[in-house]
């Protein structure tokens, strides 16, 4: 594959992730090509149909996040710390795009990644809980859910980098709230409020 073709292909994937996060759904193909600075024809040559681009984008983000997480497992001894670092990394890697894209994919089945992701999450959460640094009623699904709350820019009318740093700051607040010794709500909520 020619060098420029390779570069364009990757650029298209990166832009796709970017736009998915901005739009909160499938971005228009024309918009992707334009932002990537390539002709629309180039996009269609690399990704003949929408699915193939979305698949590639999802895989790319997943692969990056999982790999980074696996490094953390072997690098950061403290369980709670490893989990926190992972969540911040995933956030910066655009993990929110995966949440948006997954339901839109026709057959999103990557046995290899699924196994690695499951193993990774189990290990991260398990170590953090066993270390007593996380409440013990948390499942992997809880962590994934929590991550999705911060992993995606929402319309708040802030400049992107300001919003990004706020997200990291509040993700830390949230993680504090997941700690085992956390006091929990002071009073039960009003029963009729939910």
The whole-angstrom separation of Cα 71 and Cα 127 is 15
**Lookup: tokens for 8:** 């364009």
The whole-angstrom separation of Cα 91 and Cα 150 is 7
Site membership for a copy of itself, residue 116 (CB under 8 A):
no
Q: Over the Cα atoms of the chain, what is R_g?
A: 19
Task: Decide: 106 and 51 in contact? Cβ < 8 Å.
Answer: yes
The whole-angstrom separation of Cα 74 and Cα 86 is 12
Member of 100, 117, 121, 129 binding a copy of itself (CB under 8 A): 100
Residue 89 CB, nearest approach to a copy of itself (Å): 6
Member of 14, 29, 135, 138 binding DNA (CB under 7 A): 29
Of 30 and 162, the one with the shorter C-beta distance to DNA is 30
* CA neighbor of 58 nearest in space, from 20, 23, 87: 20
Q: Coil, strand, or helix at residue 156?
A: coil
Site membership for DNA, residue 189 (CB under 7 A):
no
Site membership for DNA, residue 132 (CB under 7 A):
no
Count CB atoms within 10 A of the CB of residue 53: 22
Site membership for DNA, residue 106 (CB under 7 A):
no
Q: Coil, strand, or helix at residue 133?
A: coil
Site membership for a copy of itself, residue 189 (CB under 8 A):
yes
Task: Please tell me the count of residues contacting DNA according to CB under 7 A.
Answer: 23
Of 85 and 123, the one with the shorter C-beta distance to a copy of itself is 85
37-66 positions binding DNA, by CB under 7 A: 37-42, 44-46, 48-50
The whole-angstrom separation of Cα 160 and Cα 94 is 13
Q: Which residues bind a copy of itself (CB under 8 A)?
A: 23-25, 78, 80-81, 84-85, 88-89, 92, 99-100, 102-103, 133, 142, 144-146, 148-150, 152, 154-157, 165-168, 170, 172-179, 181-187, 189-190, 193-194
Q: Which residues bind DNA (CB under 7 A)?
A: 1-5, 8, 26, 28-31, 37-42, 44-46, 48-50
């Amino acid at each position: 594959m020619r060098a420029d073709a390779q570069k364009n292909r990757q650029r298209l994937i990166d832009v796709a992730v970017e736009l998915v996060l901005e739009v909160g759904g499938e971005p228009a193909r024309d918009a992707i090509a334009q932002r990537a600075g390539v002709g629309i024809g180039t996009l269609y040559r690399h990704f003949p149909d929408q699915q193939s681009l979305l698949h590639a984008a999802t895989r790319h983000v997943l692969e990056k996040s999982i790999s980074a997480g696996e490094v953390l497992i072997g690098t950061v001894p403290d369980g709670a710390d490893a989990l926190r670092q992972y969540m911040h990394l995933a956030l910066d890697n655009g993990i929110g795009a995966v949440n948006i894209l997954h339901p839109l994919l026709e057959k999103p089945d990557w046995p290899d990644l699924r196994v690695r992701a499951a193993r990774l999450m189990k290990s991260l959460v398990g170590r953090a809980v066993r270390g007593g640094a996380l409440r013990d009623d948390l499942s992997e699904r809880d962590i994934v859910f929590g991550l999705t709350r911060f992993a995606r820019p929402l319309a708040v009318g802030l400049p992107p980098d300001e919003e990004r740093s706020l997200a990291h700051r509040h993700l830390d607040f949230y993680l504090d709230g997941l700690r085992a010794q956390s006091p929990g709500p002071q009073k039960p909520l009003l029963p009729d409020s939910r």
